[in-house]
Structures are given as C-alpha cells and as structure tokens.
Amino acid sequence: MLDKILYNTVLCQTFSPCGKYLVAGNIYGQLAVFDLDCILNPNTELLTPGYNSPKHIHKIESSSQICSLASTDRFLIVGSVNEIYGWTWKAILNSKLSKPSWTIKIKSESFIEQCDINCLWLSEDSEKLYAGCGDNKVYVFNLEDGSLMQTLAGHENYVHCIHGHDRQLISAGEDGLVLLWDIRTGKAQNEIEPHKNSKVARPDIGKWVGAAALGDDWIVCGGGPRLALWHLRSLDAVTVFDIPDHGIHIASFLDDCILAGGTAKHLYQLTYSGDIRVELPVSSTTVYSAIVRTNPNKVLAIAGSSPDIDLCTTFNYRDQVLHFR
C-alpha cells in the first residue's frame, strides 16, 4: 500500500515566538516541528541526510485534519475539527506530545455535521482569538479563560479566511462574500461580492473567496474570482491582478507588496499597480499557507498540497525544501 504521506497536504503553518521553530499541520492530523536554526545555519559537521525532515511529528488524538495554527508567547493554538487546542511551546518541543493545556469545543449543530476551524487570528494584544469556522460563523474567544465573547454571523457558507487590522476584521467565505466587521460592536459594516463584479469574476472556478487581507486603506482578496485590490472606503476594485492561477488561497500584505498564491506553479509578489515583482516557484500543487517572519531573520515558508515545504530567506528565490514525510 502506498504511504498516504506522499499525498500529504499542509493546510497551515506558524513560527514559534522565539523564531527557532516552524510548526506545520496537515490533513492527517499531524503536527511537524522543524528546527529552523538547524536548517538555516547548518553545522556542516553535524549535517545528517535527514536534516530537512521534521524534528518531531506529533499526531493529535482525534486524527482529524489540522486546519489552522496560531502562536502566542506561551501557547501554540491548533484549530482542528470541532475543537481548538492549546499546547505550551515546551510541550510541543517534547518528543512525545502530552494532552493539550486547554481545549475549546465548538458545538456542531448535528452529529454528522462537523465544524472545521478554518482560520485563526489573534488580536494585536493577543487577548482575543478569532476563529473563522466551517459553520459559517466567526467566533471570538477570550484567551484568558477560553470563554466565548462574540459570535459574528453573516456568512451563508463556511468561512475560508479572516484577518484583522485596526478595529476592523475581514472575513472571506465559500459563499463568495467578503464581510468587514467592526470589532467592538460585532456587526458587519460592509460587504464585497467579488463574483458579481464582471472584472474579477471567474464562474468556471467558482464564486468562493479563499483569501482576504486588510491594510490601512486597502483590501486584497481573491479565490474563485481573480485576485484584486479593493479600496477600503469606496469598495471599488482598483487593481485586478493578472496572474495564471486556478484559485487564490493566499493573499496578504508584505511590506509594500502583495503576497499571493493558490493553485498555480508560483507564489507571487505583486505591486499595488498590478506588476509582478517576484515569481517564486513552489513545490505544492496548491499553496495553502505562506507565512513570513522578519525577526530574527527573514524567512518565508510556503506549504500546500505537497509533502514538501519551501523555505525562502530572501523572499526572492527558493532556498531550501523541507520534507514533511
């Protein structure tokens, strides 16, 4: 029988607060911990052939897929199905994974229906945890005691992605809606429907929006519809990016660029005016996670539907390939 790890798909990644470790979660419920120190500054004498393999691979108890990851100073927060777990970083770095330090359960409405925690986002002060979920809602939890503070309901299908900036939260869903929320009131202020805009719609791929990010004046989002830059106040599609993709799953602001990827052979860095600045070739068929760290050094980790994770230290070319297998 073929080892299913060859068909591994990594949905999420995060860096540890110390910056030494990269944690990736896959659809088989496994968490891989990579020692970045070892990989980026290899000691040639101690270099073993498996240096680019994970230091540990943990399997979570339920074996359901790991949809999202977030990290605070103390905890690694793991969003799986129906449950959010918190492990202390110390526990994660042990070779054997203990029980999680805390668990938040999200009640699913029926027995069969299961709720994926598709996206986790931490408020800037790390006190609130926002979870975009498979039951069409965004939940806000207090990280002090794990209590549910707010429920943002407005999507008609599951939430793909959430992102917050300056008292506002943006959420993108399978229903094709991009909603803008006021964090304080918990009300939807504005909405965009990219698939209704003829400039960006791609009906053959679908109306879903896979990724959205919020900047000072701008929104970038894409999915089935093309990746586009929207003006925050006028909600007009200012720039429509012309990149050869079959669906966007990654869109974020990086310095004065936009980082975008999805079902394509490359990960793109684009200027606001629509020019391609960098084309990074990727190992994955579809990129589901691209995370950036600037401190202590610049690292961009790209993962998706492949057992390989690409690592770039300059953002310009692929430096190394890690194997999650």
Partner 1 sequence: MGKDDTTKKRRKLMTSSTNENVKQSPEDVYKKVVDFEEAEARQRPAEKDAALFKKICQDVRQLFADIAELKEIGTEEAREKINAKRIEASLQLVALKKVNRLEKVRTRAGRDALHKEKQRVDSTHLLLQNLLYEADHLNKEVTKCLQFKSKDEEIELVPVEDFYKNAPADVSRPDITKTDEHQLQLARLEWELRQRRELSGACSELVASKERVAAAIAAARSRLDALAPHLKDVLKATKPLQECLALRLDEKREETKLAALLPPPLFLLYANASAYSDALGTKNLVVGISGDEDEARRFDQTSNTEVELVVSNDSDSDQDGNDEDRREKKKRHHRSAKISKEEKAEAKKKEALKKHPLHVLVTVKIPDGTALNLVFSYLTHLKIIVVRYTMHHPKPITGVSAADVLDGDCVLNELYTGDTGSDSPHPATTYLLKAAGILDGFPQFIPDIGKPYIWAQRMCGLDFMTAVGDEQKDLKNIQLCPSLSVATVENFIFTLQKRLKARVELMKELQDLECGKITPTKEMSSIRLSGSLTQWQAVSWSEYSQSPSTAFLISESLVTPDDMLYRAIITRQSAKLVALVSLCSDYPKKSPLFSLTLHYNGTYDNATSDDIRDIERLVNTDWQKSNMCSLTNQITKLLTCLDVLLETMGTQEFPPDKVMLLLVRGRNRLKPYKFLKQGTGMFVQV
Q: Under the rule (CB under 8 A), what is the footprint of partner 1? A: 1-4, 6-7, 9, 11, 27, 65, 67, 112-113, 116, 118-119, 134, 158, 160-161, 174, 204, 206, 208, 210, 246-247, 249, 263, 285-286, 288, 305
- The two beta strands, 137-142 and 148-153, are antiparallel
Question: Is residue 257 within 8 Å of residue 277, measured between CB atoms?
Answer: yes
Residue 116 CB, shortest distance to partner 1, in Å, is 5
Instruction: Give min distance, CB of 246 to partner 1, in A.
Output: 7
∠ CA 235-232-254, nearest 5°, is 125
What torsion do the CA atoms of 38, 40, 46, 51 make, to the nearest 10 degrees? 70
Q: Which is nearer to partner 1, 52 or 239 (CB)?
A: 52
Cα 204 from Cα 56, distance rounded (Å): 41
Q: Centre a 10 Å sphere on the Cβ of residue 92 and count the other Cβ atoms it contains.
A: 20
Supply φ then ψ for residue 4, to 5 degrees: -65, -15
| Cβ at position 85, least distance to partner 1 in Å | 18
Written as six digits, the tokens of 202 are 């791609």
DSSP one-letter code for 65? -
Residue 134 CB, nearest approach to partner 1 (Å): 7
- Nearer residue to partner 1 within complex by CB, 4 or 233: 4
Nearest in space to 303 (alpha carbons), one of 51, 318, 208? 318
**Closer to partner 1 by Cβ: residue 165 or 265:** 265
Closer of 224 and 239 to partner 1 (Cβ): 224
Which CB atom, from 194 or from 247, has the smaller least distance to partner 1? 247
CB of 65 to partner 1, least distance (A): 7
CB of 230 to partner 1, least distance (A): 21
- 11 vs 179 by CB, closer to partner 1: 11
Q: Are strands 159-165 and 168-173 parallel, antiparallel or unpaired?
A: antiparallel
CB nearer to partner 1: give 28 or 272. 28
Distance in Å, CB of 71 to partner 1, minimum: 18
The secondary structure element, H or E, covering residue 71 is strand 68-71
For residues 176 and 193, the answer to whether their CB atoms sit within 8 Å is yes
For residue 50, what are its two tokens? 């498996």
- Lookup result for tokens 């860095």: 269
Q: Which of 74, 83, 19, 7 is nearest to 295 (CA)?
A: 19
- One-letter amino acid at 108 equals S
Comparing CB distances to partner 1, the nearer of 187 and 244 is: 244
Provide the minimum distance between the beta carbon of 244 and partner 1 in the complex, in angstroms, as a whole number.
11
